[in-house]
Amino acid sequence: MSLYLERYAWPHELFPRYQPPDNLSLIVVIPSFKEPDILGALHALNDCKEPTNAVLLIVVVNESESASSEVKKVNQLTIQQLENYQSKYPLLVTHQILPNKKAGVGLARKIGMDEAIRIFRKVGNDGAIICYDADCRCDTNYLDEIELAYSDPSMQAGIIFYEHQLHRDNHSAIVDYELYLRYYIDALRFARFPYAHQTLGSCITVRASMYEKVGGMNTRKAGEDFYFLNKTIPHGGFEEINSTTIRPSDRVSDRVPFGTGKAVNELLNSIDEYEVYHPNTFEDLKLFIDKLDSFWNEDDWKVPMSVRTFLGEDWVDQIKKLKSHVSSQDAFRKRFHQWFDAFKILKYVHFCRDEFYQNVELEEALEWLRTKHFFLKGKKESYLVQLRYLDRGKA
């Protein structure tokens, strides 16, 4: 048994009698909490072209110890549906009652992904674990393209290209929210942050050995995807799989403190224009990151006031300390971005919002993005179509 499974994994093996095929290469992990239409998600997977090697599906139906009778009823219906479901791929289902303190999507993902590690180890394969949500849809080449990506041994983790489902009732809200998500990542790319990638949980893929290397999935009730990728991406071997598409739901939800469902709900109930982080935040961030060569040479320590104030009076000493642990400029850059990582950048962005630059309306931010980063035409809906195209790397 591995050190990870001994010390850090969910302690209970879920399917001890399951014997995986020798050619198992992909395991899809699906958390399911109060999901009325999980069969739609499974239909999409079953419609996929079969990869060369074997695929396994694991569904983690979960609820807290204090779950309401409504949640329990829906979950029981889900289990009944899954028991009778004729799946093209082997389907393993577990029902987990989670402690109130930890109950949530993070722990549910972890339980399923940890079990995937156990199953891969039974056959000695270093396959890919795929995160998929119970309300998602996917393209028919979804499994095929993931398998192809991981046929390259250097591939350690990756994010699937996504496009939210656009239903009539929520159309305006989900357009705004996806535009915000794309604006934020594209603004970070403008600032030359090297680890700027989308962080939706239903888009994550990771090789089994890398999953163990980074300590597995965390147990956060929300944001588990962001924190997992923040510690995974800097290890290298991370790619965007843009040749297929995952389609997260646009439904309203209040199950987690932030995320798509909550954002859509708030947008639908707001009469104000959607506001996002001020472009000046990313202009300042770019000026800071562009100074890395000067920091290495110690010839220019001038940085924007917002950055200096955020980092504190000893910020120069902090960077000199980073330099003292490396012997080359490339190593310094890598160490710098391990320190000033996606989480620290998010804290900086929030600091700027609160202390320097008030949020601006989404359309103003998109206009900035158009002039600085992309050549966009039209308004919101048109911007979304174009950003999807450009973010996929078609330009």
Phi-psi group of 93: left, alpha or beta (phi > 0 → left; psi -120 to 50 → alpha; rest → beta): beta
380 within 8 A of 366, measured Cβ to Cβ: yes
User: How many alpha carbons fall within 13 Å on the CB side of residue 313?
Assistant: 0
Using 50, 70 and 90 to split pLDDT, how confident is the model at 35? very high
Using 50, 70 and 90 to split pLDDT, how confident is the model at 372? confident
Query: What's the CATH code, domain 3-167+194-257?
Result: 3.90.550.10
Mean predicted confidence (pLDDT) in 239-261: 73
Mean predicted confidence (pLDDT) in 65-88: 96
57 within 8 A of 28, measured Cβ to Cβ: yes
What is the DSSP-derived secondary structure letter of residue 63? E
pLDDT higher than 60, residue 186: yes
pLDDT higher than 80, residue 16: yes
Taking the CB of residue 288, how many other CB atoms lie within 10 A of it?
21
H helix intervals, the chain? 3-7, 38-46, 69-83, 105-123, 142-150, 171-190, 208-213, 224-232, 260-268, 279-289, 292-297, 305-311, 315-324, 329-339, 342-355, 362-372, 380-391
pLDDT higher than 60, residue 254: no
Mean predicted confidence (pLDDT) in 280-297: 96
224 within 8 A of 201, measured Cβ to Cβ: yes
pLDDT higher than 70, residue 265: no
Reported as a single tens digit per residue, the pLDDT across 104-126 is 999 999 999 999 999 999 999 99
Q: How many residues does the structure list for the chain?
A: 395
Using 50, 70 and 90 to split pLDDT, how confident is the model at 170? low
Question: Strand 54-64 and strand 91-98: pairing?
Answer: parallel
* pLDDT value of residue 169: 60
Distance (Å, rounded) from C-alpha 352 to C-alpha 119? 46
Task: Find the Cα–Cα–Cα–Cα dihedral 78, 81, 84, 86, rounded to 10°.
Answer: -100
Angle at 156 between CA 152 and CA 161, to 5 degrees: 85
60 within 8 A of 112, measured Cβ to Cβ: yes
361 within 8 A of 380, measured Cβ to Cβ: no
Cross-strand bridge partners of residue 92: 58
**3-class SS of residue 195:** coil
Angle at 51 between CA 45 and CA 53, to 5 degrees: 120
* pLDDT value of residue 385: 86
Reported as a single tens digit per residue, the pLDDT across 301-359 is 999 999 999 999 999 999 999 999 999 999 999 999 999 999 999 999 999 999 999 99
Q: Which helix (H) or strand (E) holds 29?
A: strand 24-32
Phi and psi at residue 242, in whole multiples of 5°? Answer: -100, 5
Lowest mean pLDDT among 5-19, 49-63, 193-207, 378-392: 378-392
* pLDDT value of residue 181: 95
Using 50, 70 and 90 to split pLDDT, how confident is the model at 270? low
Using 50, 70 and 90 to split pLDDT, how confident is the model at 269? low
Angle at 165 between CA 162 and CA 169, to 5 degrees: 150
The whole-model pTM stands at 0.92
Of residues 281 and 168, the one with the higher pLDDT is 281
Could you give the residue range(s) of every CATH 3.90.550.10 domain in the chain?
A: 3-167+194-257
Counts for the chain of helices (H) and strands (E), in that order: 17, 10
pLDDT higher than 60, residue 262: no
Distance (Å, rounded) from C-alpha 385 to C-alpha 395? 13
Pick the closest to residue 160 from 201, 218, 115, 109 (CA basis): 201
pLDDT higher than 50, residue 271: no
Mean predicted confidence (pLDDT) in 1-8: 90
